[in-house]
Amino acid sequence: MTYAENILETIGNTPLVKMNKLTAEIDALVLAKYETFNPGNSVKDRMALKMLEEAEAKGLIQPGGTIIEGTSGNTGMGLALAAIVKGYKMVCVMSDKQSKEKTDILKAVGSKVVVCPTDVAPDDPQSYYSVAKRMAEETPNSWYVNQYDNLANTKAHYESTGPEIWKQTDGKITHFIVGVGTGGTISGVGKYLKEQNPKIKVWGVDTYGSVFKKYHETGEFDENEIYPYVTEGIGEDIIPKNVDFSVIDGFTKVTDKDAAIYTRKLAREEGFFLGNSAGAAAKGLLQLKEHFEKDDVVVVLFHDHGSRYVGKMFNDEWMKKQGFL
């Protein structure tokens, strides 16, 4: 008989799926690394489990303890599933820009959810970074995950996502494209792939209101670039330790409107029911098309599932209110 001992053993080994209609103008073979096949419906399941296992090995959390994390929703879901299997309590601290679906899903799997304002500086006591950190300091037998600076995040993708892509493409991959938030996915996958073939190009997709692209190009952290944006799951107003700029060849920025519209296009033209960051990644891919040649194999990673955005990008009224329709 073939079965998993628990739900955590089903993480990883997600499929590569060829893109067709949306990429008709690109000569290269474009493949989507389809991460919604993970049990928590996102790529974050991989690093959530890895971070928890490393914390257990280091004695940072004891049996029956509480996991506390600031999350845009997906890391929280991965941690919540791991917490259920391993017997921990879970507290997710989120900003108020995240979709209602994300909050509801986290509550559905038994997590406590604390919501904080988006439009405050990272070091403001009300920010979700600060609140998560403070709650961990005040809660006995708790562990503050800190996915931004916890390098087990990058390690997870170096050990699983990168090798999977290399094997699935038979080593023929030439370009890897992914939205960048904490930086763990692009850094872990990018490091692994470049160790196999230094000629592979690694591109990050950023959003307007985020600091990554300019910081990568100039080394300057420009606070004037920071402002609230709608796109979920990518971009930052900080530089996480997980972002290894040395393995990133460049960034392209995608507007909130394009990210939302291409989230819909993926569903209606490819049958890919995916989240907001996938729309940004798809548009970023098209913006980079002049970098691809006929025999190239381009892999774009899609983070999470469309079910988390039915009240937003897939809702006509919300889209009209934002000026996107």
Task: Decide if 133 is catalytic.
Answer: no
Q: Which two tokens stand for residue 135?
A: 């709650």
**Pairwise CA distance, residues 169 & 175, whole Å:** 11
Handedness of CA 163, 166, 171, 177 (dihedral sign): negative
**Pairwise CA distance, residues 223 & 271, whole Å:** 39
**Pairwise CA distance, residues 109 & 261, whole Å:** 30
Residues 6 or more apart from 170 whose CB is under 8 A from it? Answer: none
Handedness of CA 188, 194, 197, 201 (dihedral sign): positive
End-to-end Cα separation, the chain, in angstroms: 51
Residue 321, φ and ψ in degrees, nearest 5: -60, -35
Residue 12 backbone zone (phi > 0: left; psi -120 to 50: alpha; other: beta): left
Contacts by 98-101 with C-beta closer than 8 Å and gap 24+?
98/72, 98/73, 98/232, 99/73, 99/232, 99/308, 99/309, 99/311, 99/312, 100/311, 101/307, 101/308, 101/309, 101/310, 101/311
Q: Which two tokens stand for residue 316?
A: 């006509």
Number of continuous H segments (helices) and E segments (strands) in the chain? 11, 10
Catalytic residue among 18, 21, 33, 44: 44
Judged on CB neighbours under 10 Å (0-12, 13-18, 19+), 268 is exposed
Segment (H or E) for 194 = helix 184-196
Of 60, 44, 36, 58, residue with least CA distance to 92: 44
The catalytic site residues sit at 44
